[in-house]
Amino acid sequence: MTTASVLPPPPSTLPAPPGAVSRPGVRISGPGRVAGAIAQLAALGVVGPAVFGALFGLFGAGVGLLFALLIGAVLLAGLVYALFGVAWFEQARLDGLYGFDLPALQVRRSPKPGFVGVLHTIWLQAIDPRQWRAVASFTVSTVLGLVTLMLIGSVSWGLVLLVDPLFGWGDTRLFGLVALDGVGAPLVGALIVVVATGAVIGLGLLQGVLARAILVPSREAQLEEQARTSDTRRAGAVRAAEVERTRIERDLHDGVQPRLVSIGMTLGLAQTKIDDDPEAAKALVAEAHASTKSAITELRQLARGIHASVLEDRGLDAALSALASRSHIPVTLDVRLPRRCSRPAEAAVYFSIAEALTNAAKHSRAGSCRVDVRVRDDGSLWARVEDDGLGGARVVPGGGLDGIVNRVTAAGGTVRIDSPQGGPTSVEVTVPCAS
């Protein structure tokens, strides 16, 4: 079975989205946020140990049953996604409390198809650094929550000592050793209340500091990530331009250029016959005229492959409708675009769909093709092209699929190509709408 599935190399961590708050700009010391942090820490002090108990139980069962009909492998895979759930909860909790404006955690997906793709997907999720940072934050918060519960208990005990003389409870001892007589009990109680309350507030502040240090990328990390992303996009743009130039040269050399040479030879032959055999000369001129029309058509198609004017004038929906009407195989088009995206994003999706339809018509022996285009909730432009052909498509340097990958990478997007032997072949493209 021949399969092909391609994604541009993803960055090690996701860059902060536009408008994300950098490390120094997040305020964590407001009274409301400190009070919210204390309340959440107290809740985590109760819930956190139970969560970790379940996770460690799942890990132990997975390791113990690893060789028992691979039941353990299923349990360990479940542990990976249980950790993802914990990480998602922790990031959502802290983002809601402090407004870090962090990019949402998303389940990782492998570009590889089949069972190998399933294993690779689990592995990618297991090594996701953002997931583990969130799990580390949850661990720290749970420990702080346990300490918070102890301090809240100390505050309660201090209050009991403070009101002890009012009820005449008699023999009161500090830690069961030192007797507190007279005003000793209320003084010690007041001291414990003040110290424990201050410690609880300090833990509320410490929660914000640690959460920001663990989850919010530093300015330097953001700049490094932006630099890596820019390098990837620039490399994709250079490669896409090279592939496009090669395609244009090939089309000119193999198509238009021989036809123009043939027209010149035909007109030259007609010129030699124009006096001796006018009828033959007229036939040659007519043949040259027909060839000229064909050459103009080929040039127009070539120009359309370089620049689609209808895309700029009327948008992606109209451009795809025109593209589908020219397709050699029937195309079912489903485009739902509530608004227009940026020019690079629309161009990348348009030319990717055009190349996918061309491949389906030339190589896959497809009888029909379906194209779906959407703007997703996260603001990305998504398109999927699927044909019912023979499959077995492979990405080769300089080929059409390679051109799709490079063009979409240059626009900051991703490509997923799945083409098992026997079909169907599907090409999924996702590009930031404001790329």
pLDDT digits (tens, 9 = 90+) for 235-266: 655 565 666 666 666 666 666 667 777 778 88
Examine the pLDDT at 6 and tell me if it is beyond 50: no
Query: Do 248 and 388 fall into the same domain?
Result: yes
- Range with lowest mean pLDDT among 64-78, 149-163, 164-178: 164-178
350 occurs within a structural domain: yes
- Residue 284: exposure state from Cβ atoms within 10 A (0-12, 13-18, ≥19): buried
Which of 158, 187, 216 is the last residue before a domain boundary?
216
Determine which of 88-97, 137-146, 361-370, 378-387 has the lowest per-residue pLDDT on average. Answer: 361-370
Asked if residue 259 belongs to a domain, the reply is yes
Give the pLDDT confidence score for residue 357 in this predicted structure: 85
**362 and 257 housed in the same domain:** yes
Specify the amino acid at residue 268: G
Do 413 and 282 share a structural domain?
Answer: yes
pLDDT of residue 180: 58
Residues 120 and 46 in one domain: yes
Given 186, 216, 246, which residue is the final one in a domain? 216
Which residues pair with residue 372 across a beta bridge? 334, 384
Domain boundary residue, one of 181, 216, 251: 216
Task: For residue 402, tell me if it sits in a domain.
Answer: yes
Residues 106 and 39 in one domain: yes
Same domain, 106 and 133: yes
pLDDT at residue 218 in the model = 53
pLDDT over 90, % of the chain: 19
Q: Are residues 212 and 240 in the same domain?
A: no
Q: Is residue 74 situated within a structural domain? A: yes
Instruction: Indicate the range of 15-24, 343-352, 392-401 predicted with least confidence.
Output: 15-24
Same domain, 269 and 212: no
291 versus 98: which is more confidently predicted?
A: 98
d(C-alpha 338, C-alpha 435), whole Å: 17
User: C-alpha angle with apex 78: 72 to 81, nearest 5 degrees?
Assistant: 150
**Residues 311, 249 within the same domain:** yes
Are 60 and 209 within one domain?
yes
Q: Each residue of 378-406: pLDDT tens digit?
A: 788 899 998 888 887 777 776 777 778 87
Which residues span the domain enclosing 32?
17-216
Same domain flag for 29 and 77:
yes
In-domain check, residue 106: yes
**379, exposed or middle or buried, with CB in 10 Å at 0-12, 13-18, 19+?**
exposed
Its pTM stands at 0.57
Of residues 14, 209, 19, the one with CA closest to residue 103: 14
pLDDT computed for residue 15 by the predictor: 38
Same structural domain for residues 172 and 257?
no
Residue 1 maps to a domain? no
CATH of the domain at 356: 3.30.565.10
- For residue 48, how many C-alpha atoms fall within 13 Å in the half-sphere facing its CB? 23
Q: Give how many domains the chain has, as a whole number.
A: 2
